[in-house]
Structure 1
Amino acid sequence: MGKKSSNKFGPQQMPAAATATAGVPRPSLEKLIPVWSASFENASKVYQSFDMSLDIHVEPDWLRSVCERFQSDGDTDLARWIEQFADVCKELVRFKERLCDEASERWNEANKLASAVEVREQVIATEQQALEVERAALALAQADFSGDQQALAKRKSELLAAERSLNMRETNAQAGFVEQNEDALRQLEDRQRQMVQQHEIQLQRLQEEKRQLDSELSSVARRLAEVKFNCTETEAERVSQLDQREHEIKQSKMELDRARSRLDREWSEIKTAEVEMEQRIATEMAAERTSHAQTIFSLESQRDRAWNKAEELKKQLADMQELKLALGERTGREILEQLDSLTQENRVLKRDLEQSDTAEFQRENEYLRNSKADLERDLSALRPELDELRRELSSKRVASTELEAVAREKRVLEQHKNTLAVHIDALESRIEQLTSAQKTQTPFPAMSLMDSDREYRASMELEEVPDLKLFAEELQHRIAKAEKHIELFYPLEDIRVLLGGLSMSQLHVFQGISGTGKTSLAKAFAKAMGGFCTDIAVQAGWRDRDDLLGNYNAFERRFYEKDCLQALYKAQTPRWQDTCNVILLDEMNLSRPEQYFAEFLSALEKNNRDERLISLSETALPNAPTMLHEGRKILVPGNVWFIGTANHDETTNELADKTYDRAHVMTLPKQDHRFDIKKMEPVNYSYRSLRKAFDRAREGRKVEVVELLKRLTSHAFTEQLGSQFALGWGNRFEKQALDFIPVMQACGASSGDALDHLLSTRVMRQGKVTGRYNVGVEAVRNLKDALEAFWVETNLDGEPQKSLELLDADIRRLDGRS
């Protein structure tokens, strides 16, 4: 704004106006001249309203001559266009005025709202100042009251000290002076007996002094009595005044307490009102801001549209202004006369041109120009070729000298080649010797050693697992004494859950806070059973199975065997093939098991235990250990359980559902359960006998468990899990329940305890049902009621304590009480 427009008014805009006004009757000059003048005036007003300097002033005579000229030529398009332009200018002025009025009204409304808010804030500030004054007065009154209490206490202490002083003086006067007189008399009598004759004069004088002392003593006693009497009356009066003052102070204190409580209530009410007012003001201000934002947005849209129209009009005005500048100071009549003369001259020149030979000359000139252009193109094409030939000639001269130098270098390189060929032959022979030596070596040195070592080839005596209930009790005591320097106390319930999990899955997850004995339980179980435990510390950077098993180096033809791979092979040797062994994955969720343990998760899902194979290489390796399948695959034997410990903090990863669904999960609380440990001789239990005990328990209680699962599947609890939480279970859960529940019952637990453990760890674990934020508290309450109803209807022992604790925690969290 404020700058003159430089847009051109082109003749290409004229036909559109002419087309739009075709067929309209031609207006008279008396109507056209005022309309055109008003159009230019309106255009000037529009420019000035937008702070742009433009003042269009048209002479009426010149305008009349222009109108006559256009009417004589039969062109009315410009007149129609100027009329429409005048209407548009008027509408723009009115539109801007409406916009200004509307903006001023909005501005006034905003100022009123701001004034109202300021008045409210001033009222609140005034009330706060008055409240602060009342608080200051209350503090002064409390200070005065405390000062009066201190003065009263000080005066009481002074009176008590004076009273004690008077009592002491009276006591001394009554007792102390008599004793002194008696001592003096005894001394005088002694001296009198000794010196009767020599000191008669002194005796008389002493007697006189005695009388004086008696008189003084009596006068002192009278004065003491008078002082005591006066002091007693004064003290009594002072005490009564103090009591009266104390009573008044107590009354004042009670009034101050009442005033303070009243002021506290008023202050709390004021604070509540202030908070409510602030909230209401904030809400109103937010609504007003939103309304103002919408209004501003609409105004800005209207303003943008108006500016677009103004820009179009500005362009048109610029074209008109340019037309005026092009015309200069000449009048329209002069321009029309000059146009007529030029038109006549043009007609004469055309006739002369048609009658002369100029056209032939022009054709010849054009032909010569084209020929010149062709020659110049040929010349420009030949010049690069000439330059190229010159450069090629100079390069060939240089190449002749370079060829001689290359020949000399070739002879030197041939000598070096012969020397290198000798060295290469020596290296090839050395590599062939090394390769031949390695062909006789095994790629698995540690595992091949197990094939020949007597320690792994010798078998050992193993004990049969007794009745599972008795075995669980014995195992509790054996685990407690499994470690040499520490006693481990695990409840019998946890031992039963552990045995049920061993029958259910080869993968276990022990979770809980640090220090609950997760690692110790895994190691102690292996020792108590007579097997071995391989401890593997999982690292945060593990990404694939090579981090767990090792990798094959093709150049060295050697497999770098890690502890896990050696433990899998060791469990298949004759010494350990019938023992219960453990591979401990300590802190297994420092990295993602779904990556480094993926092949094991897939292998453990196979029903045929002989097909649980892990490939170590793509092809068979020569001289492989005897128990590798096809010379490249390691079997995951059934007598090995993978036990992983998992802490949940900022350094670990959350286990995926596929890991949880395939594993048996135990949450170990802090152990504070102690018992008297029975001394037992160490034994080595047979894995096959443990598996037979599991099979017997499964076969004996299969019908009962199947019926329990049918009732659970058809109950409202399962229906709510599916409808409210989109959860259910399939064949894997039923298979695990058929393995887990019978063994738990055989170990002495109830079917309710076993089912509660499965539901709490498999179905309602954290993040699957509980701990979710997309469900309502009512849905969780209904699920809890359905679970309790199922327990009652099925006559299961006890209550589903673990599952109910999870649901209660969710209800408290959703209610906002946790």
Structure 2
Amino acid sequence: MGGRRKTSNIPPGQRRPALQPAADKLDLAAAAKRAADDTEVRAALAEQGIEPPANDDKAVLSAYDELLRQASAYERAAAAARERTGAAADAEAVAREREQLAADARAAAEADRRRLAAAEDELKGRLSRFTADEAHLKVRGDEVTALEREARDGFAAQARAARLELEAELDLRRQTAQLEAEQQRRQLAEEHAKQTALLERDRAALRRSEEELRFEKGALRGQQILLERKLDDLDKEIQARAAADIAALDRDLQVLRIQHDAQVDTIAELRKLVSERDEQLLRVGGTDPRYLIDERDRLAADNAELRGKLAERLSDDDHHRLRWLEQQYREAAGDRDRLAYRVQELEADVLAGRINNLQMKQLSDAEAHYALLTRGYESRIAELQGVLEQLTQDRPDPGTPLFPRCVAMDDDPLLSERGAISADRPDLSRLARSLQTVMFADSQRAYRLNDVCVLLGGLAMSRLHLLEGMSGIGKTSLPVALAKALGTECAVVEVQAGWRDRTDLFGHHNTFERRFEESEFLQALYLAQTPRYRERPFFIVLDEMNLARPEQYFSVLLSQLERAGAPIQLVTRGAGRAPKGLVNGTHISLPDNVWFIGTANQDESTLEFADKTYNRSHVMELPAQRPWLASHGTIPDIERYSAEELRRTFREAKRQHISDVREVRGFLGEVADDLREHGRLVVAPRLQRQLEMFVPVVVAAHAGNPVEERPDAEDAAQDGRSLAADHFLARKVLRSLRGRYDVTPGGLGKIRDTIRTAWELCGLSGVPVRCVALLDDEQRRREG
């Protein structure tokens, strides 16, 4: 500017009178400005360590004022940096509560503090540079003063040009400072992104390590199962051998019983003989046998004597006849004795024959039994040989796939093409209203906007949903309509009452036909991994999920929904052509784009869910009546958002609505003591994590213009934060009161009063209709 200064050829004394009025006006304006701003400007400059200028020209003061505003702006930036430092400290405090990411969070917070400190140092350096610029501007101010002096002498246009040039230079410096600040913010963001990528790589490495450990654990489990099967086979063999030995012992025991019966009969015969002898002895009496022998000898002598006398008296013929009779008598007595002995021998032979006949009959019966068993086994063997021959003839080629339906999906050209995905990130408010309109237009089933917002919050909170309510209110239709509105697929699997383990859910290996019986659930899980659907949200509905116990047949997936686990083993060894989506042809992974939705009727034919299932799921109870909607409205185009973009939108909502999470957490803190005292209810850490994802999404989805509908509930006055607080407290915390009669009706009343009081104190809109309705139902159940 000094180089463009011009020297007037007119004497100063001749120019000054003509410009004096304008100069006086300028001096008066400058004096007024100085009178108003002098004190403030000097005090501000003194705070910044800048010595105020010696002159009071208007341009210089304007420059100082502009400099002061810039300094204040950088001071505010420093304050914001300090606030970010405080926020980083808060984030570090919160991160300490999370065990898995504590070390990473502290390192990130420390890095942020270092960057913020560097930013403050940079700001201080810039402030010092601006101080130097202020000194330079002071010199320039002197030049401006000289120019204004010349302006009073007639160079007003040159003064204005100089002022404009000075203002342009100040604007340029301000823009330069803003660009530098923006560049620094971008650098900080890039560094944060790099740190985040490093953390993700570390987490991926940890997940891989966990998968390897789980794989090794599965292999050990497989070996254990093989050992258990071998032990079972040995037990069965031992039992079979023991059964054969027992049968042989039974046969020997039967023979011994027959022999015992024969011996009993013999003993009875002997006892009969003994009794006959005893009777004979009784006839004889109690005389001594020797006396009887003597008496017999005496009688024989008397008989001989009498015979002699008789012989003397008898004639010779009589005598001879008598002798012949005696000889006949003796021969008859010998024949009698021989016949008696023969009779005894024949009786013994008959008894032995009877015993032999019994033994032969037993052996004949055993032989017939064994012949019958032999014929049965021979017919069974022939039948099995026929089945084996038929299976051998009809057996597929060894190259036939073990999973034919999954391989057929790989060969389907429609499923091999990547599905169309929208590149835009969804707006949750617009998405909620779009889903409501599309579902109403497509299925003629109206769903309240509040229910749609709660459903979106549940998608962010958990990958397992439980839809409860009476039969026929559209529990199965809701996920089907939601899938159509999102331009994706929904598979419905009907749960059977006899399901007990994961083979009922996934299917089983048919060893005879050498293929895997792929269940509908396994096919749906594999369909979600095909190129057409792998990037889209995919829904699998387990219809009437509580006909069997999910804690048994769904247990493998329950443990993997919250943390990534090892792939699920389907078979121990693959065969034939392996499906592309299976790991090593034997395991299947749980895709990240799948949400499981279970429907549940509450009646006598179903079972109650366990707390393990409830705690890991998002519970939603649909109203019995449909709301009224004015019309379909303008049906929007179906946007096919990817599952990853949907999750990014959920995370962005969490960052934007962190204050709403604090408000709802404060509300739960107000009622926590009474819940613990009167209901023994505690908001566990898992529920805290679910709350942090559920509330922001519901708030973001509920924001926007109201929908023209006539709701069937009293929650029309609730905003997004109140809706989230009411639903979460009722379905995730107070739900545990159902069926618990250790909580008295008085305790339920105190909990209800506490919730209403805390609701008003926290400034939540409307009334907690879901909490009050649940507590009223429980109180009526206990009182009635």
The TM-score bracket by the shorter chain reads: 0.3 to 0.5
Q: TM-score, normalised by structure 2?
A: 0.47
The structure number with the bigger radius of gyration is 1
Q: TM-score, normalised by structure 1?
A: 0.45
